């Protein structure tokens, strides 16, 4: 299986602290050594870094740990291959364009006998069930909404339905972002936390690193972090209920219906 | 205007030497300081690095200069903004998926009143004429060949036609690759060189760096480099004729008709 990390904020924030703990699991404190990737939205642009080397020894991961890229929406993934070889094209996150926006997707889990009919508008480049699911998801969106990007609420209600449909084929913990919102579906295991005023000190669970967020933030900042396993040892993380779908906008946690 | 750099080889090769000279033009020996980008094919996967900081001071460019990524097809670009703001989404190269493959595109030049009718299958995320041209190009391919990737020869003949059509709107020096071949159209200025046995020593024109390729290669290696301005001072670069279209496959230079 793999691990997922997502961040959604109301102000561009760097993910150096969380990524440092997360990357440690890519071969050191955990066995997810079959590649990794991270995508940062910056305005409507995306920076995507993928590597089929373990995150713990990747020079690109080293760069990310020391280069504070500011972003309001980030998705990262460390991989333990279940389907698909250890090659670059099979590393998450995957990126596609739809309605003149980039969409970023990462998946943790395993889908069995999932062979959706793809019409060619979005096709997988690699051989993972995950990229198939991403293509099916975008194709479904395009079929449902035609040539117009819908409002986030409308989008979320439809995505929740498609995620439940895909999840019937196996484990489908997934994160999807279009740079505005971060959509999250949980099949089995995901946690989240919203850091906001008054900010406190957090200590990584995987490395001996502590940070005082009150020194790095303003009272208006709101930062949601979503992850497969809690990253810090001294904060309270909220578990997702299996089957739950949440939307993160500007650091707020919402249900599809509430949008 | 901008500058382009492309590489096509018969064996995965690193571009550290050429990129070092090229990146120097991003703010130091030349004025192309409005961002840069580079895309490497690795199998069917792509590593894309883009940055709206000048290449000369970008930490990501620093990584590329020291991390020898092996690739058979590379496209790089340094930007001096003519159309579109200096933002990440306007940095070349651009990447899209078509027929289950990634396509990488970069453009140097300026298109006037180029507003092709786009049907929604590929839409620009940023505001450059270049990304418009890329979307139009892929849309034209999909319309011409339906759901099947054609042979490289057939593809080249059609691309040559579309490039000539777009070039009627202004300057269209462009590089396009699907990981198999590197397609190049020249409106005004491009040079190429094919390095092969017997390999010699080359000295960068922009920095005091010399490399002896015979120490780094095997006699079978063939490496084509295509660039806006020759990168080395002691090798013979072949200029493209304005209007010329070339295809590079496994380090060989071909015309569309010869494939």
CB contact under 8 A, B88 and A48: no
Q: How far is A45 from chain B (nearest CA, A)?
A: 4
A45/B99 CB distance under 8 A: no
Distance CA A50, CA A90 (A): 9
Catalytic residues of B: 2
Q: Is B95 within 8 Å of A91 when comparing Cβ atoms? A: no
Q: Say which residue the tokens 């020079």 belong to.
A: A59
Query: Does A45 touch chain B if contact means CB atoms closer than 8 Å?
Result: yes
pLDDT of residue B223: 96
User: For chain A, which domains are there?
Assistant: 3-254 (3.60.20.10)
Residues of A in contact with B102 (CB under 8 A): 125
* Cβ–Cβ below 8 Å for A88 and B121: no
Q: Is the minimum CB–CB distance between A117 and chain B shorter than 8 Å?
A: no
Mean pLDDT of the region A72-89: 87
Tell if the CB–CB gap between B87 and A45 is shorter than 8 Å: yes
Q: Which residue of B has its CA nearest to A131?
A: B100
The per-residue pLDDT for range B121-148, each reduced to its tens digit, is 999 999 999 999 999 999 999 999 999 9
For residue B32, is pLDDT > 70? Answer: no
Task: Tell me what pLDDT residue A215 has.
Answer: 87
The token duo for A11 is: 């102000």
> Average pLDDT over chain B, rounded to whole?
92
Judge: A45–B50 Cβ closer than 8 Å, yes or no: yes
- A134: closest CA among A180, A81, A187, A175? A175
Convert the pLDDT of each residue in B74-116 to its tens digit.
999 998 777 777 899 999 999 999 999 999 999 999 999 999 9
Residue A142, both tokens:
């395009």
* Given the residues A2, A91, A163, A186, the one annotated as active site: A2
The pLDDT of residue B27? 65
Rounded to a whole number of angstroms, the distance between the first and last alpha carbons of chain A is 32
Q: What is the mean pLDDT of chain A?
A: 92
Q: What is the mean pLDDT of residues B226-235?
A: 94
Q: Is 80 exceeded by the pLDDT of residue B26?
A: no
Distance between CA B200 and CA B188 in Å, rounded?
A: 29
> Is residue B145 less than 8 Å (CB to CB) from chain A?
no
Render pLDDT for A221-233 as a digit per residue (tens, 0 to 9).
999 999 999 999 9
- Percent of chain B topping pLDDT 70: 97
Report the C-alpha gap between B181 and B44 in whole angstroms: 12
Q: Is A141 on the interface with B (CB under 8 A)?
A: no
- Closest by Cβ to A97, choosing from B87, B101, B125: B125
A50 touches B: beta carbon within 8 Å: yes
Q: Mean pLDDT throughout B5-31?
A: 85
Average pLDDT over residues A205-212: 87
What is the rounded CA–CA span in Å between residue A60 and residue A80?
A: 18
Q: Tell me the C-alpha distance between B35 and B46, whole Å.
A: 19
pLDDT at A32 over 70: no
The residue among B120, B126, B177 with the most chain A CBs within 10 A of its CB, best to mutate, is: B120
Residue with tokens 């922009």: B206
Q: Please name the residue of chain B whose CA is at the shortest distance from the CA of residue A149.
A: B120
**Of the candidate ranges A82-96, A101-115, B174-188, the one whose mean pLDDT is the lowest:** A82-96
**pLDDT single digits (tens) B179-218:** 999 999 999 999 999 999 999 899 988 888 888 998 888 9
Closest Cβ opposite residue B50 in set A47, A122, A125: A47
B180 touches chain A (CB under 8 A): no
pLDDT of residue B107: 97
Using pLDDT thresholds of 50, 70 and 90, give the confidence band for residue A185: very high
Does A47 lie at the interface with B, CB-CB under 8 angstroms? yes
> Does A124 reach chain B within 8 Å, measured CB to CB?
yes
- In which element (H, E) is residue B156 found? helix B152-167
Contact B125 A44 (CB under 8 A): yes
Angle, helix A59-66 to helix B59-66, in steps of 10 degrees: 160
Per-residue model confidence (pLDDT) at position B239: 98
The whole-angstrom separation of Cα A139 and Cα A161 is 14
What's the confidence (pLDDT) of residue A68?
Answer: 84
Which comes out higher in pLDDT, residue B187 or A15? B187
Do residues B149 and B101 make contact, with C-beta atoms less than 8 angstroms apart? Answer: yes
Cβ distance A230 to A191 under 8 Å?
A: yes
Q: Could you tell me the pLDDT band of residue A30, with boundaries at 50, 70 and 90?
A: low
What pLDDT score does A132 carry?
98
B contact residues 67-96, partner A, Cβ 8 Å cutoff:
67, 87-91, 95-96
CA distances from B106 to A89, B177, B185 (A): 21, 9, 11
Give the C-alpha distances (Å, rounded to integers) separating A12 from A9, A222, B9, B227. 7, 10, 40, 36
Residue A144 in contact with partner chain B when CB distance is under 8 A: no
Residues 6 or more apart whose Cβ sits within 8 Å of residue B56: B23, B24, B26, B27, B28, B33
Give B-chain residues touching A89 at CB under 8 angstroms: 43-46
**What count of CB pairs under 8 Å joins A to B?**
86
User: Is A82 a residue whose pLDDT tops 80?
Assistant: no
A4's tokens: 């997922």
Backbone angles phi, psi at A50, to 5 degrees: -130, 150
Query: Cβ separation of B91 and A45 shorter than 8 Å?
Result: yes
List, for residues A118-163, the tens digit of each pLDDT value: 999 999 999 999 999 999 999 999 999 999 999 999 999 999 999 9
Cross-chain Cβ contact B120/A147 below 8 Å: yes
User: What's the pLDDT score for residue B31?
Assistant: 67
Contact A89 B122 (CB under 8 A): no
Q: Are B181 and B153 a contacting pair, CB within 8 Å? A: no
- Whether cis (ω within 30° of 0) applies to the bond prior to A61 is no
């Amino acid at each position: 299986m793999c691990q997922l990390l997502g961040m959604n904020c109301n102000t561009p924030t760097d993910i150096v602290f969380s990524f440092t703990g997360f990357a440690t699991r890519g071969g050191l404190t955990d066995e997810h050594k079959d590649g990794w990737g991270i995508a940062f939205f910056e305005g409507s642009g995306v920076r995507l870094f993928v590597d089929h080397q373990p995150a713990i020894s990747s020079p690109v991961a080293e760069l990310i740990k020391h280069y504070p890229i500011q972003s309001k929406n980030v998705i990262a993934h460390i991989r333990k291959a279940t389907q698909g070889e250890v090659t670059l094209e099979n590393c998450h996150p995957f990126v596609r364009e739809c309605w003149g926006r980039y969409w970023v997707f990462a998946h943790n889990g395993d889908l069995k006998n999932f062979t959706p009919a793809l019409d060619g508008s979005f096709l997988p480049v690699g051989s993972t069930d995950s990229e198939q699911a991403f293509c099916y998801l975008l194709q479904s969106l395009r079929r449902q909404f035609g040539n117009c990007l819908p409002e986030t609420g409308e989008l979320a209600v439809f995505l929740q339905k498609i995620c439940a449909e895909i999840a019937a084929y196996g484990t489908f913990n997934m994160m999807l972002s279009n740079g505005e919102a971060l959509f999250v579906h949980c099949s089995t295991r995901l946690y989240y936390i919203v850091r906001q005023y008054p900010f406190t000190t957090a200590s990584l669970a995987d490395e001996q690193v502590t940070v005082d967020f009150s020194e790095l933030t303003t009272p208006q900042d709101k930062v949601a972090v979503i992850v497969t396993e809690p990253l810090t040892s001294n904060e309270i993380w909220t578990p997702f209920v299996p089957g739950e779908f949440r939307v993160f906008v500007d650091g707020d946690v919402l249900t599809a219906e509430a949008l």
